[in-house]
Structure 1
Amino acid sequence: MLKIKHVPEQLFDVTAFPIMMTLMFTYLFGGALAGSVTLYLQFLLPGVLVMSVVMITMYTGLGVNIDIEKGVFDRIRSLPVWRPAALVGMILGDVFRYTVASAVILALGLILGFRPGGGVLGVLGGVALLVVFSFAFSWIWTMFGLLLRTEKSVMSVSMMVLFPLTFLSNVFVDPATMPGWLRAFVEVNPITHLVGGVRGLMSGTPAGGDVMWTLLASAALLAVFGTLTMRLYNRK
């Protein structure tokens, strides 16, 4: 959190990037896919919210890799502090960034005409589900930040994983319109279930299956990649 205080431009990726994504996809696809920008926004905004925040998670791995190269972790490990504090603190600090990104997108969506049927509680529930998943998901990039030698390598691997996961999902269109072979992948994509859960909560028609699947996936990611990351950190 002190990094943000001293270098506030670190919030650029959670403010300018989400605004750009929301405006670009709303006005690019709205008229063509739904015949109305406002109508499409009701479907699109929860998906863009998920896509923007999930893509931001890769910066956790980049931060870890950069701090290792600069010797920050060597310094922290020489201090009398809880050993995992550097990693856990960085990821918890990023949770604040995810919340800021969510608030920015929702504020812009309300200005553009987004009206969540689930009300305040539905919106808060959707954001909470997204933050929980993003917290667990960010451990993957933390592991890559420890494994790979350069920040460019971390960025490349992250984008190779994130682009198919986010674009081959139900963020932009209903999977029912897709060819069978593509729909089969989309339906097992964890991002699809996350978007379904967030969209259902915000619209006031919670999709219990998607919410439960997302929570189980988050627990599995945290158990597997959290454990692997801590083992790498202790050995490195």
Structure 2
Amino acid sequence: MTIVTNSRASDHRPDHHASAGTPHYRGSGMGRQVLVLSGRSLRALGDPALIVPGLLEPILMLTVFSQVFKSVAQASSFPAGVSYIDYLLPAFLISSAVSAGLKSGVALTTELGNGIIARFHAMPIRSASILIGRNIADTALSGVNLLVMLTAGALVFGFDPAGGLLGTAGALLIAVMLSWSLGWVFMAMAGWLRRPEAMQPIGGIVNLVLMFASNAFVPVDSLPGWLRAFASVNPMSHAISAARDLTLGEGGFSSVLAPCGLCAVIVLVSAPLAVRSFRRAG
């Protein structure tokens, strides 16, 4: 009798007792693992106490900011013929996408702390499958939240951009791609920080600084010089500009291709780092 051991069961090499010549159990394929784990993450979010606040938060923020900053539309630097809600909503799509990416990291740190991940490591499950499943579920939920925001914007706030349905769909695609890519960035951070109480404030500060030091609420030309310089290089400003140009009918195919390509590059860099930090954390 031979005992085959390996400390990394999560890497698809479980410990099993087997006779010589007997094939070892390798578990299900990676595609099946991702499908099951994605479904598990979505079912875990089935509690209305978790879903409803996530749906209401961006709508409440949109209500407040659309009223507080409404007078900005009267400034000379504001685009002529554009209502403030048409200007603001694309920025909220991008900001909500960043927040959704952060939630992936927070959820992962929570599961690292409550023992769920340790149980997964004792099963024939690949580390990458766990992270991909988490990311797919969170990106899907983010897409639903963004659709709810757009629907509320159209029905309640009068969102009716010149770019029409096609331009709005392009802006939505950019936001979903951003949520998907930043989910990997924050999951890489989660494997390093390991605690939600550390992950939440760091991600929140990053989102807050990037959003308010950008062109989300007012044109960059309206900002003080030092803030204008930062907003001009702020990656959130560029994502907002791409989404806004599409909704306002001023952007073309390149407005979608460039940010989506950048998101793909972010994933190519951050996904291996996320898997590596996740294995160490487990």
Asked if TM exceeds 0.5, the reply is yes
Amino acid at match of 2:268: A
What is the RMSD computed on CA atoms of the aligned residues?
A: 2.0
Structure 1: which 5+ residue stretches go unaligned? none
The answer to whether structure 1 residue 51 and structure 2 residue 90 are counterparts is: no
The one-letter code sitting in structure 1 at the alignment partner of 2:91 is: G
Map of 1:183 onto structure 2 = 228
Name the structure with the higher helix share. Answer: 1
Q: Write the letter of the residue equivalent to 1:20.
A: L
Shift of residue 210, structure 1, vs aligned partner: 5.2
Q: Which of these residues, 117, 121, 134, is aligned with residue 73 of structure 1?
A: 117
5+ unaligned residues in a row in structure 2: which ranges?
1-41, 76-81
With the length of structure 1 as denominator, give the TM-score of the two structures: 0.91
Quote how far apart the aligned CAs of 1:213 are: 4.2
1:142-186 CA-partner distances (Å, limit 9, x unpaired): 122111142111011112211111111111010011233222211
Q: Which residue of 1 aligns with 2:217?
A: 172
Q: TM-score, normalised by structure 2?
A: 0.77
* Preserved CA contact (<8 Å) 1:53 1:101: no
d(CA) in 1 for partners of 2:49 and 2:128? 27
**Farther off after superposition, 121-130 or 203-212:** 203-212
Is 1:12 equivalent to 2:56 in the alignment? no
Larger radius of gyration: 2
Quick one: structure 1 residues 209 and 183, their matched pair in 2 at CA, closer, same or farther if it must change by over 3 Å?
farther
Residue in 2 that maps onto 1:104: 148
Secondary structure of 1:84's partner? Answer: helix
Aligned to 2:69: 29
> Post-superposition shift, 1:188?
1.3
Given the superposition, is the C-alpha separation of residues 131 and 117 from structure 1 closer, same or farther in structure 2, using an over 3 Å criterion? same
2:269 corresponds in structure 1 to 224
The alpha carbon displacement at 1:201 in A equals 1.3
Identity of matched residues, %: 28
Query: Where does structure 1 differ by over 6 angstroms across 4 or more consecutive aligned residues?
Result: none
Alignment-derived partner of residue 130 in structure 1: 175
Partner amino acid, structure 2, of 1:177: S
Deviations 1:182-215 (A, max 9, x none): 2221111111111111111112211666545423
The total of aligned residue pairs comes to: 233
* Paired letter, 1:160: I
Q: 1:162 to 1:19 in 2, by over 3 A?
A: same
